[in-house]
């Protein structure tokens, strides 16, 4: 899954490089099918431009929203790599794929934030009066990955405990087996004590 995430980050960065090299930022749009188009924009905030004007001062140092979001993306990326490596043998396919997609999205936009100070967006979807904010491959990876994680949690059986990690059964004669059952809430033990 780490190779998949790396390939998606490469696709994200190559697609952004193509847009920068071939499209001016003057609103020119290349129409595609079904309401999609390609246009070159810059996003200094989070997804869909939120948190664009955020500034945080810590110990006299002012951190703008782009750096803060870059640091958050880096922390998420490191956490997801650790999670994937630690659980590589126990993760089922759907949650592993979803986690790899979220990792790719976080890393792709993190690279832009640290390298450029903004994120390059270029995919535009507009049908009639519906005008979706411009996004990129990394954003699509995060949204699809989050959707797959939600789907994985909804389709897993409740008996497994954690929806996406296969758990080994507890060993027999576990120390909790010797602990008596607690009395019912607000009641007394039923064995006469």
| Residue 9: C-alpha distances to residues 67, 102, 111, 169, 177 (Å) | 19, 11, 9, 37, 48
Is residue 177 annotated as a catalytic residue, yes or no?
A: no
Q: Find the catalytic residue in 121, 131, 162, 178.
A: 121
Q: Say which DSSP state 91 is in.
A: B
Q: Find the catalytic residue in 139, 162, 178, 191.
A: 139
Strand, coil or helix: 72: helix
Residue 58: Cβ-neighbour burial (10 angstroms; 0-12, 13-18, 19+)? exposed
- For residue 60, which phi and psi values (nearest 5 degrees)? 80, 0
Query: Which structure tokens are listed for 30?
Result: 């290349």
Is residue 121 annotated as a catalytic residue, yes or no?
A: yes
The residues carrying an active-site annotation are 121, 139
């Amino acid at each position: 899954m780490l190779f998949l995430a790396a390939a998606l980050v490469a696709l994200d960065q190559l697609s952004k490089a193509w847009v920068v090299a071939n499209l001016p930022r003057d609103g020119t749009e290349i129409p595609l099918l079904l309401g999609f188009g390609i246009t070159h924009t810059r996003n200094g905030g989070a997804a869909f431009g939120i948190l664009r004007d955020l500034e945080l001062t810590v110990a006299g140092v002012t951190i703008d929203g782009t750096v803060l979001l870059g640091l958050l993306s880096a922390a998420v990326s490191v956490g997801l790599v650790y999670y994937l490596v630690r659980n590589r043998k126990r993760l089922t396919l759907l949650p592993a794929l979803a986690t790899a997609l979220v990792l790719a999205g976080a890393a792709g936009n993190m690279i832009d934030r640290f390298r450029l100070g903004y994120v390059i967006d270029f995919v535009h979807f507009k049908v009639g009066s519906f005008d979706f904010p411009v996004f990129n491959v990394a954003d699509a990876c995060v949204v699809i990955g989050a959707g797959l994680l939600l789907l994985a949690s909804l389709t897993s059986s409740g008996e497994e405990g954690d929806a996406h990690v296969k758990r080994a059964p507890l060993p027999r004669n576990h120390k909790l087996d010797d602990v008596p059952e607690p009395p019912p809430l607000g009641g007394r033990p039923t064995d006469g004590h």
